[in-house]
Amino acid sequence: MKTMRNTHLLAGASVLATMFAAGSLRAETELSVVTYGGAFENAVQEAYFKPYTEANGTEFNFESYDGGLAKLAAMVQANNTTWDIIDLESNDAVAGCDEGLLEPLDESILGDTADFIPGAISDCAVASMIWSTVFAYDKEKLADGPTSISDFFDTAKFPGKRGLRKSPKGTLEWALLADGVSKDEVYEVLSSKEGVDRAFAKLDTIKKDITWWESGAQAPQLLADGAVVMTQAYNGRIHDAVKNDGSPFVTVWDGQIYDFEWWGVPAGAPNADEAFELIAYASSPEVVARLSKYISYAPPRKSALPLIDDEILSDLPTAEANFNNAVQIDVDFWVDNFDVINKRFQVWLAQAANS
Amino acid sequence: MNATVPAPAVSPTAPDTLNDAERLQAYRRVKRRESRKALLLAAPLLLFLLVTFIAPIGTLLLRSVQNPEVPQAMPDATALLQQWDESGLPDADVYAAMARELVEASKAGELGRVARRMNFYNPAMRSLLLKSARKLKRMSVEDAQLALLEVDGRWGDKEIWRVLKRAGQSPTPDYLLNAIDRHVDQDGDVASLPPEESVYMAAFSRTIWISLSVTLLCLALAYPVAWLLANLPERHSRRMMLLVIVPFWTSLLVRTTAWYVLLQPNGVINSLLTGMGMVSQPVPLIFNRTGVLIGMTHIMLPFMILAIYSVMKGISPVYLRAAQSLGAKPLGAFFRVYVPQTLAGVGAGCFLVFVLSLGYYITPALLGGAGDEMISQLISIQTNQQLNWGLAGALSAYLVIFTAIFYFIFNRLVGIDRLRFG
Amino acid sequence: MTSSIHQKKEQPSSEPFISLTDISKSYDGKDYVVYDLNLAINKGEFVSLLGPSGSGKTTTLMMLAGFETPSQGEVRMGGKRLDKLPPYDRDIGMVFQNYALFPHMTIAQNVGFALTVRNVDRREIKARVKQALEMVELSHVANRRPAQLSGGQQQRVALARALVFEPALVLMDEPLGALDKRLREHMQYEIMRLHRELGLTTVYVTHDQSEALTMSDRVAVFFDGRIQQIAPARELYESPHNAFVANFVGENNGLDGRVSAIDQNTASLALAGGAVIRGGISQSLSVNTHGMLFLRPEQLRIAKGDENLGNRVSGVLEDIVYCGDHHRVRVHLGENDRLVCKLTNSWEHSLPAIGSKVDLTWRIEDCKVLPPLLASAQSSVSS
C-alpha cells in the first residue's frame, strides 16, 4: 500500500516535472514512437533512442500496437495524427504508402542507397531490420533433429505435433518448398490456382499433426511445454528463449522466410522532420549494427555486417550459412491475394476440423 | 305490484363538457411537464449512449452499404461508367477520364484506397491500378485508350470495367452479399461464391453452434449452483457468491491463460490423468472445440449463475412444501413447481450468455484449433488487417440482426421482459 | 364430491384419530423448540394451536405435515405411524400462511395439482376442480392466475386446493394472517362452514386468540415449547390453568401477591398495598408463596354504598377511556397495583370523576389465585 502511494506520488511528480519541462524548454520536442513493443522495443531503445536522446536531447515517448493500419487510417482520416514514427510490417508499409497514410521518404537522407539490401527502401519507408520465420525444435527431446523444411513435413521420420502460425502467409510457401518447388519459383507457382491447390495438398499430409498458434509468444511456449515437437517461430523469439531462458532449442534455417521490418512516418505527423532525422540516424551503418547486440535481427545494410561480432552474426538470418535456402516474402503478392487465399485457408481449416 | 315509473333520464347537473376539456388539457400539461423532467434526468445517459453506442454502431452499419472510395477519387470516370451499357468496351471518353484520374488520384495519395477497394472484387485489380498509374505518370498520353492498353492488356477486358462500374455505385449491396458468401456475377445475378471461398456462412453457423453449446453447458452447470446459492443459509451463500464473482475481477486473458496451463498436453489435467494411469496418451483438451467450450463456459458461467440466482432468490421454498403437501414427490415438485418459476431467469441467462458468446473472440483464438474460428475473429481480420471496413460492417450487421431476432424469439418463449433483477 | 369428501362423524373411540406422543424437537440437542408434547385429536375435530411466535405451535404443525421430524416421540394418524412417512405420502391437506399458490399456473391448475400428480383421469380432474371451485364460490376465476386475484379469493383457492383430494386431515398455518379484519371475520365463517359441511379434521395454527376462540372445538395454548392448556374455548377463558393462559387468552388483571391463607376451595392473596383478595383455586398452591390474581375486567363493578360481592378494594380512579359500547376505567390501589374494569355504558351517568376515591367489588367465584409463571417464561411474557 505504502509503495503504491509512493509510486503515485512519483508519477504525479514526474507529470508535474514534465509539464514544467514542457513549459520551459519549448524548443525541445518529444517524438511519439509506435512499435510492436516487447523485446524489439527494448532493443531499439537501447540501440538507437537512448543514445540519440543523449546526443540531441530529443525525448521519445513509446506506445505499442498490434500492427494493422486501422488505427493509423482512422487518425489520418480524422486529420489528427499524433504519432511521429511507426514500426511497420511489410504489408502495412506497402499498403500504408499506397493509401497515403505515410509521408513520402526522401532517399537522400539515407546516404549510400546502394549499400542497402535490395528492396529495403520503399517510397515511404526504410527497412529497420530483417527478421525471419524459421522453425525450431528441442534438442533434448529430438537428439537427431530435423535439418530441412522437408523434415518439417515428414511425420514418418519425426512423428508428433508441429506448431504453425494460423495464417496462410509463410505456411503455403513452406508447403511448396517441401513439395520440391525451388525458392525462386514459390510465388510464381502460388500465383495460379493449381499452385495453391498443390500447397494445400501438401498441407493435407500433415493436417492432423498441426497445432496452430496466433501470437508470436505462443511458439516458444508450445515448444517448452512439449505440446509440439517442432514449431514455426520468429527467429528472434527462439533466440531470446535460448539466450535468456537457456531453453535447449535449435533453429533450423532451411526454408526460412525473411522479411523486412520498416520505419515510417505517418502522414501529417506533428514532428515529421525530426522523425526523418531519427530514422536517418538509426539507419546509419554504425548505429544499425548495434541492434543485433540486443536482438537477433539483422541490419538491412551490407556495410553494417562487418561491424557485428561473429558470434552474434551466426544467429542472424542473413548469415551466409543460414541464407542458402531463404525466401524473401513477396509483400505485393500477399497484399493482392491475402483475402482470397485466406478465405480458402479458413475453409480448409474448418474441413480439417471435420475430417 | 305497481308499474314503476322510470326515473327521468335527465340528471340535475349535465356534465360540463367545456370544463372537462379544460381539465383534461391541464392534466396533459402537467403530465407533459413531468415527462420532460424525466427526460432531462435521463438526458446525460441518452447522450452518452448516443455518442458511444448508437452512433458507432450506426456508422458501422452504414459502412456496410457505402461505397465512397472510387467515386471520390475518380468522379468523372465513375459518372461516365454508369452510363455504359456493358455491351461492348466503354467509350473513348471513359478511357480518357480513367487515364487522367488514375494519375490524379495517384498524386493525391488516393489511389491506394481505390486499389484496396477494387482488390476486394478481384485480387488482380490492385496491382493493375497501381502499375498503370505508375506507368502513365511517366508517359505523355495522347490516345488514352491506346495508352491504357499499352500499359496493361487487361484494360481491354470488359470484366475489369464491369467491376469498376459496380465499385462506383453507392449504396452497394456487395458487402452484404459477400458477408453471406454471395456476389453479383457477370450477368448481374446474385450467385454463390465457389466453395473454397465460402467462409462466412460456415463461420456464422459455427459461431451459433458454439454459442448454443456454451449456453447449454452453462445452463447445466449454473442451475444447481444457483439453486444452492439461493437456498443455503446467508452466511454460506455469501461466501460462495464471492467464489462466483471473483472471476469477474480477474482479467479475461489471465483466466484464459490459466486454462491453457491446465489443459495443454503436458498440463495439469493431463499429467493427473496419465499419472493415475487413466489414459496412456494425453487427451487433447486444447486447440480444439473442447478447449473452446471449456474456456468459454468458464468465462460465461457467472452471468448464467447470477441471472438464475436473482430469480431463484425470489422464489419462496414454501412452494415446494405446498407441492409436496399436495402429494408431489420431491423431484416432481421441483420440475412442476420450481423450475417453471425460474424460467425467466433461465431465459435471461441463456440470452445473455448466447449473445455474449456470439461476439466472443479472445478465448476461441487462444484455446481453439483449426476450424474453431468464430465470426468476430473474422470481423477483426477485416477491420484490423484488411482494412475492409465495409465487409466488417456487413458481417457485424448480420450479427446485430441475428441478435435482435434471437431476442425476439426468446422474449416470446420465456419473456425476458418480465424479469426483474434483485 | 361433497358426499365422498364428507366423512361421517364416527363414534368417539378409545383411540384418538391423531396422536402426538411425548414429542420433543430440538435443532441443536440443547434448546428445545417443542418439549414433551402430548396431543390427541379426534376425528372431525377442529383444534387450534394458539400461542405467541416462537412458542412451538408452527413446529408442531410442521411435524404433523412432515416438513419437520420429531427428535423424540411418535406421531400417529388412524393408528398408523406418521413420522416415518414423507410429506407427500401423508394424505394431509395444507393451507399455507401466504397461500403458496403456484404463480405460473391458473387457478384451475392450482386446484387440480394434487389430482394431476396422482395421475387422476383428466376428465375427472376437471369435474372435481369445478366442484371444488364452486364450493368456495370461485368458478368464474378458474382461468386466471393467482396474481390477478384478491387476497380473500386467493385464500379460498388455497382452501379448495387443499381439500380437493379429500385429505384425512387439514392443516392451516395462520391462513388469515394477511387479510384485513372484515375479510378475516368473513373467512372465519367460511372455514367453519366447510369444516362442518365436509366433516373435516382440522388443525389450525394462529396467534390471534379471538380467532382461535371463535372457530375451534378445542384450543391448545402453546408457550415455551409446551402446551400450557388444551381445552374448549369457554373453559380456557373462564378457568385458565396458569398465569400464562390467563394473561394470553383475553384480558386479565394479573396482580401479584402473596398467598396468605388457603381453605378448601379458596385462597387469600395479599397485595403489596395491603388489600387481601379471595378467589378460587384450580391448581395446587401453598401458603406464603407467590400467587397471581386472575380477574377479567368485565367482572368488576364500582361498589355503591357498602355493596360487597365478596371482594371489595379501595383505590383512586386514575383514568377513563371511552370505547364505544363500554368504558375502561383504571383504578390505582397503591404501590404498583392497578385494576382495569370494563363498565357497560349504562354506567356512564354515574361515573365518578378522575382522581376521586372509588371502591371496586366482585364475586369470589369470578376470580382465581393462580400459581405464578416459571421464571424463564415470566421474563418473556412481561416484555
Q: Are residues A226 and A309 in the same domain?
A: no
All cell numbers assigned to A191: 500465383
Mean pLDDT, range C148-177, rounded to an integer: 92
Question: Residue B371: which of A67, A70, A353 has the nearest Cβ?
Answer: A353
Q: Per residue in A232-255, pLDDT tens?
A: 999 988 988 998 889 999 999 999
Kind of pairing between the strands at A162-165 and A230-234: parallel
Q: Are residues A206 and A337 in the same domain?
A: yes
Q: Give me the total of CB pairs closer than 8 Å, taking one residue from chain A and one from chain B.
A: 107
Q: Per residue in B139-191, pLDDT tens?
A: 887 888 888 998 888 899 988 999 999 998 888 999 999 999 999 888 888 99
Q: Are residues A81 and A194 in the same domain?
A: no
Q: Are residues A173 and A294 in the same domain?
A: no
Q: Where does C233-374 have alpha helices with state H?
A: 233-238, 243-248
How many angstroms away from the CA of A227 is the closest CA of chain B?
Answer: 6
Q: Which range of residues forms the domain containing residue A82?
A: 4-130+260-313
Question: Residue C102: which of B329, B332, B337 has the nearest Cβ?
Answer: B337
How many structural domains comprise chain A? 2
- Does the beta-carbon distance from B324 to C88 stay under 8 Å? yes
Identify which of C155, C113, C263, C2 has the alpha carbon closest to the alpha carbon of residue B332: C113
CB of C169 within 8 A of CB of C19?
A: no
Side-chain-side CA neighbours of A281 within 13 Å: the count stands at 17
Gyration radius from chain B CA atoms: 32
**Predicted local confidence at residue B213, as pLDDT:** 96
Instruction: Answer whether A touches C (≥3 Cβ pairs < 8 Å).
Output: no
Exposed, middle or buried, C347 (CB in 10 Å: 0-12/13-18/19+)? middle
Minimal Cα distance from A104: which residue of B? B109
Q: Are residues A65 and A179 in the same domain?
A: no
- Does the beta-carbon distance from B108 to A342 stay under 8 Å? no
CB of B367 within 8 A of CB of B291?
A: yes
Q: Are residues A224 and A342 in the same domain?
A: yes
- Does the beta-carbon distance from B387 to A344 stay under 8 Å? no
Mutate to test the interface with B, among A221, A347, A348, A351 (most CBs of B within 10 A): A347
What is the DSSP track for C212-258?
HHHH-SEEEEEETTEEEEEE-HHHHHHS-SSHHHHHHSS-----EEE
**Predicted local confidence at residue A108, as pLDDT:** 92
Q: Which residues in C lie closer than 8 A to residue B321 (C-beta atoms)?
A: 65, 67, 87, 94, 96, 100
The pLDDT of residue B244 is above 70: yes
Q: Are residues A187 and A217 in the same domain?
A: yes
- Does the beta-carbon distance from B326 to C86 stay under 8 Å? no
Mean pLDDT, range C35-58, rounded to an integer: 92
What is the DSSP track for B120-169?
TT-TTHHHHHHHHHHHHHHS--SSHHHHHHHH-GGGG-HHHHHHHHHHT-
Q: Per residue in A3-31, pLDDT tens?
A: 444 444 444 444 444 444 444 444 467 89
Q: Per residue in B95-109, pLDDT tens?
A: 999 999 998 988 887
- Does the beta-carbon distance from B325 to C162 stay under 8 Å? yes
Q: Which residues of C touch B (CB under 8 A)?
A: 65-67, 86-90, 92-94, 96-98, 100, 102-104, 113-114, 117-118, 161-162, 165, 171
Identify which of B11, B331, B110 has the alpha carbon closest to the alpha carbon of residue A76: B110
Per the listing, cell 514542457 goes with A22
Q: How far is CA C89 from CA A140, B330, C4, C158, in A?
A: 70, 11, 20, 20
**Predicted local confidence at residue A12, as pLDDT:** 45
All cell numbers assigned to C244: 400464562
Residue B415: pLDDT band with limits 50, 70, 90: low
Higher model confidence: residue A292 or residue B417?
A292
Across chain A, mean pLDDT equals: 87
Question: Residue C117: which of B316, B319, B327 has the nearest Cβ?
Answer: B327
**Predicted local confidence at residue B185, as pLDDT:** 85
**Predicted local confidence at residue B18, as pLDDT:** 63
Q: Per residue in C255-264, pLDDT tens?
A: 888 888 888 8
Q: Are residues A142 and A108 in the same domain?
A: no
**Predicted local confidence at residue B417, as pLDDT:** 57
Cross-strand pairs, C256: C292
Q: Which residues in B lie closer than 8 A to residue A217 (C-beta atoms)?
A: none
Mean pLDDT, range C174-200, rounded to an integer: 89
Residue A327: pLDDT band with limits 50, 70, 90: very high
- Does the beta-carbon distance from B336 to C117 stay under 8 Å? yes
Q: Per residue in C204-245, pLDDT tens?
A: 999 988 899 999 999 999 998 999 999 999 999 888 888 888
Question: Residue A98: which of B115, B124, B366 has the nearest Cβ?
Answer: B115
All cell numbers assigned to C64: 404433523
All cell numbers assigned to B250: 480477474
CATH of the domain at A124: 3.40.190.10
Which helix (H) or strand (E) is A258 found in, with range?
A: strand A249-264
C partners (3+ CB pairs within 8 A) are: B
- Does the beta-carbon distance from A98 to B385 stay under 8 Å? no
**Predicted local confidence at residue C381, as pLDDT:** 35
Minimal Cα distance from C95: which residue of B? B322
Mutate to test the interface with A, among B379, B385, B391 (most CBs of A within 10 A): B385
Above pLDDT 90, what percent of chain A?
Answer: 56
Per the listing, cell 491504357 goes with B148
Mean pLDDT, range A92-100, rounded to an integer: 86
Which helix (H) or strand (E) is C32 found in, with range?
A: strand C32-41
Q: How far, in Å, CA of C259 to CA of C282, rounded?
A: 14
Mean pLDDT, range C39-54, rounded to an integer: 93
Q: How far, in Å, CA of B323 to CA of A138, rounded?
A: 65
Q: How far, in Å, CA of B89 to CA of B144, rounded?
A: 14
Q: Which residues in B lie closer than 8 A to residue A267 (C-beta atoms)?
A: 109
All cell numbers assigned to B131: 502499375
Query: Is the domain defined by B200-418 classed in CATH 1.10.3720.10?
Result: yes
**Predicted local confidence at residue C202, as pLDDT:** 95
Mean pLDDT, range B337-356, rounded to an integer: 91
Across chain B, mean pLDDT equals: 86
Higher model confidence: residue A8 or residue C302?
C302
How many angstroms away from the CA of A284 is the closest CA of chain B?
Answer: 29
Higher model confidence: residue A273 or residue B284?
A273
The pLDDT of residue A100 is above 90: no
How many angstroms away from the CA of B403 is the closest CA of chain C?
Answer: 28
**Predicted local confidence at residue B416, as pLDDT:** 58
Q: How far, in Å, CA of B355 to CA of B359, rounded?
A: 7
The pLDDT of residue A226 is above 90: no
Residue A175: pLDDT band with limits 50, 70, 90: very high
The pLDDT of residue C374 is above 80: no
Q: Which residues in C lie closer than 8 A to residue B332 (C-beta atoms)?
A: 117
Mean pLDDT, range C356-363, rounded to an integer: 89
Residue B17: pLDDT band with limits 50, 70, 90: low
Q: How far, in Å, CA of A94 to CA of A79, rounded?
A: 21
Question: Residue B266: which of A67, A225, A267 has the nearest Cβ?
Answer: A225
Amino acid at B228: L
CB of C61 within 8 A of CB of C49?
A: yes
Q: How far, in Å, CA of C68 to CA of B315, rounded?
A: 20
The pLDDT of residue A163 is above 80: yes
Identify which of B288, C337, B412, C365 has the alpha carbon closest to the alpha carbon of residue A354: B288
Please work out, in degrees rounded to the nearest 5, the angle formed at the alpha carbon of residue C261 by the alpha carbons of C257 and C265: 105
- Does the beta-carbon distance from B323 to C102 stay under 8 Å? yes
**Predicted local confidence at residue B9, as pLDDT:** 46
What is the DSSP track for B316-377?
-THHHHHHHHTT--HHHHIIIIIHHHHHHHHHHHHHHHHHHHHT--HHHHHH--TT---HHH
Q: How many CB atoms lie within 10 A of CB A135?
A: 28
Q: How far, in Å, CA of C175 to CA of C184, rounded?
A: 9
Side-chain-side CA neighbours of C2 within 13 Å: the count stands at 11
**Predicted local confidence at residue B136, as pLDDT:** 87
Mean pLDDT, range B282-311, rounded to an integer: 90
Where are chain B's structural domains? 69-170, 200-418
Q: Which residues in B lie closer than 8 A to residue A206 (C-beta atoms)?
A: none
Higher model confidence: residue C281 or residue A135?
A135
How many angstroms away from the CA of C289 is the closest CA of chain B?
Answer: 47
Q: Where does chain C have alpha helices with state H?
A: 2-5, 57-65, 107-117, 122-135, 151-163, 181-198, 209-215, 233-238, 243-248, 375-382
Above pLDDT 90, what percent of chain C?
Answer: 44
Mean pLDDT, range C180-193, rounded to an integer: 89
Identify which of C346, C337, C289, C342 has the alpha carbon closest to the alpha carbon of residue C313: C337
Q: Per residue in B254-279, pLDDT tens?
A: 888 888 888 887 788 888 888 888 88
Higher model confidence: residue A63 or residue C275?
A63
Side-chain-side CA neighbours of B55 within 13 Å: the count stands at 7
Higher model confidence: residue A181 or residue C255?
A181
**Predicted local confidence at residue C7, as pLDDT:** 43
How many angstroms away from the CA of B313 is the closest CA of chain C?
Answer: 15
Mutate to test the interface with C, among B312, B321, B324, B326 (most CBs of C within 10 A): B326
Q: Are residues A326 and A271 in the same domain?
A: no
What is the DSSP track for B82-125?
HH--SSSSPPHHHHHHHHHHHHHHHHTT-HHHHHHHHHTT-TTH
Q: Is A124 helix (H, G, I), strand (E, B) or coil?
A: coil
Q: How far, in Å, CA of B65 to CA of B190, rounded?
A: 16
